[in-house]
Amino acid sequence: MALRKFKPTTPGQRNKIISAFDDITTSRPEKSLVKGKHKSGGRNNKGKMTLRYIGGGHKRSYRIIDFKRDKDGVPATVKTIEYDPNRSARIALLFYADGEKRYIVAPNGLKVGATVLSGEKATPDVGNTLFLRDIPLGTVVHNIELKPGQGAKMARSAGTYAQLTSREGKYASLKLPSGEIRMVLTTCKATIGTTSNPDHMHEMSGKAGRSRWLGRRPRTRPVVMNPVDHPMGGGEGRASGGHPRSRKGLPAKGYKTRNRKKASNRLIVERRKK
């Protein structure tokens, strides 16, 4: 999973760094696992713009991903490693022994031809999905469930992971990359290894046009707006804009917005590092 750096032959190539896509084995997705994807362009059902800075972008199809990994005890062979425009990590196409096909988020190091398994009989090898109660302490995991049977919710983007640090009673403690330590029920599932495409964080678009391909329209800085449009607008000349805050007046950069009464607060052993 290397990166491609370009010579500055044009302004758009000057700072461009993208993936080499050397881990991709096919350019055509599995037809039975693809469905159409609708884009709103930031408009509601009446055509009114309700979200700014959204619109355009290249046409996409949605790949149906298996986040539950609930085919326990049925071995599957990795057929292809593919690019998915809807996520930063790569996806892998699995052919199960009973003939079913499914997509999963590909772990780093998973190769075509490898066999993966889920459930109690699975070994703690890369790509296998186990219950947290069966995973050895110190193991690095991704695609972690927050509720049993819900499907993976944590550590799904490129290069992310969590480390299983301890188990006590019905809860297991996971250390996240942010430094947060969180308790999760041991009956939840997680996949062994880190997610693929870890170099994604080092990519650079090189030009504004690549943001337009992703459906992102140009964003106006609040400082250059008028007072009627934003709390940070107005002032003579290049005024700094005052305290950083949102369009609705909510403070930013250091102001905690998490609800103090949120039910999952009791499961967070240690908050993330600043």
Domain boundaries, the chain: 3-201, 223-274
Give me the CATH code for the 3-201 domain, please. Answer: 2.40.50.140
The pLDDT of residue 106 is 98
In whole angstroms, how far apart are CA 11 and each of 8, 178, 206, 236, 253?
Answer: 7, 35, 8, 34, 33
pTM, 2 dp: 0.92
**Cβ(155)–Cβ(142) below 8 Å:** yes
Q: What stretches in the chain show pLDDT beneath 70?
A: 1, 274
Name which CATH class applies to 223-274. few secondary structures
Give, as one character, the DSSP assignment of residue 273.
P
The pLDDT of residue 1 is 66
The pLDDT of residue 241 is 83
